[in-house]
Amino acid sequence: MERPSARASLANFRDYDAPLATKLRLLVANNLTKLRTRSSCCGNLGQPGC
């Protein structure tokens, strides 16, 4: 699986329809999942951080 580009990640964060606090929580949680599983995707496509 390819690693997503920074531009795609930023667009995903910007376009996700949720309050800023929720976006930040999902960003951290999804990145922790990616680190823990050593994967390039957390499994929650479309969410910030994935």
pLDDT in tens, 2-50: 666 788 888 888 999 999 999 999 999 988 998 998 888 788 777 888 7
CB-based contact 23:49 (threshold 8 Å): no
Q: Structure tokens of 19?
A: 């309050």
Residue 1 has pLDDT above 60, yes or no: no
> What region, left, alpha or beta, does residue 13 occupy, with left being phi > 0 and alpha being psi -120 to 50 degrees?
alpha
**Stated pTM of the model:** 0.78
What pLDDT shows up at residue 22? 94
Sign of CA dihedral 6, 8, 14, 19: negative
